Amino acid sequence: MHPIAVVTGGGSGLGREMAHALAAAGFRVTVTGRTEDKLRETADSAPEEMEIAVLDVSDGAAVAGFFRTLDRIDVLVNNAGTGAPAAAVQDVAEEDWRRVVDTNLTGSFLCAQAAFALMLRQDPKGGRIINNGSISAHVPRPQAIAYTASKHAITGLTKGLELEGRPHGITACQIDIGNAATPMTSRMGQGVLQPDGSIAVEPTFDPKIVAELVVKIAQLPTDVAIPTLTVMAAGMPYAGRG
């Protein structure tokens, strides 16, 4: 029997790479996202057959309805996320703050909650939840307070899931990614704002490496936990950022 994986935010970028890698490794994959055309592009270019489901992870009723369609889930990859326009703290629009938190944090919680409940009642029970954190879960970028706060909160979410999942064979992992080369990071090549006010080009790396790591984590037995994993472009600002 093929293990079953769900990847949120699977219509492009890292989500697409993760979904493709899991499918190639023998997982039966469903990708979710808000744009059907993008999801179909992911499925049509996949190495194996893949299911799609249009889903806004910030919509609790929609998330609950989607997970009710599943008989089992072995791996949830909470990848869906968004950012806000760069803005100083005093200029951040409430609408932008709420949209980022609703997607990055609340959406991750809602999907994890529904997956957790299914993992508890399936036979055999257990599974793995992989949350896409960020280098921003550790140190901020300037003018990105909503994104930074949401990713710091993912750390607490992951730890809480790991703690409560222990008696049930449910493990949680946070993978913190820095500058994987996707459309979201294309601006790194033109230069981005640094904490000292300068603009600097930052290195990126092949997102397939992230996807390969996700597969390795997903394939681990549930008596092995990897609470956190950081993978980033060598030389990008990290220890010296903030």
The total of other beta-carbon atoms located within 10 Å of residue 89's CB is 8
**Residue tagged active-site, from 27, 67, 109, 147:** 147
| The Cα angle at residue 73 between residues 70 and 74, in degrees rounded to 5 | 165
CA distance linking residue 193 with residue 209, whole number of Å: 26
147 has catalytic annotation: yes
Strand partners, 132: 175
Decide: residue 75, CB within 10 A, 0-12 exposed, 13-18 middle, 19+ buried: buried
Task: List, by residue number, the catalytic residues.
Answer: 147
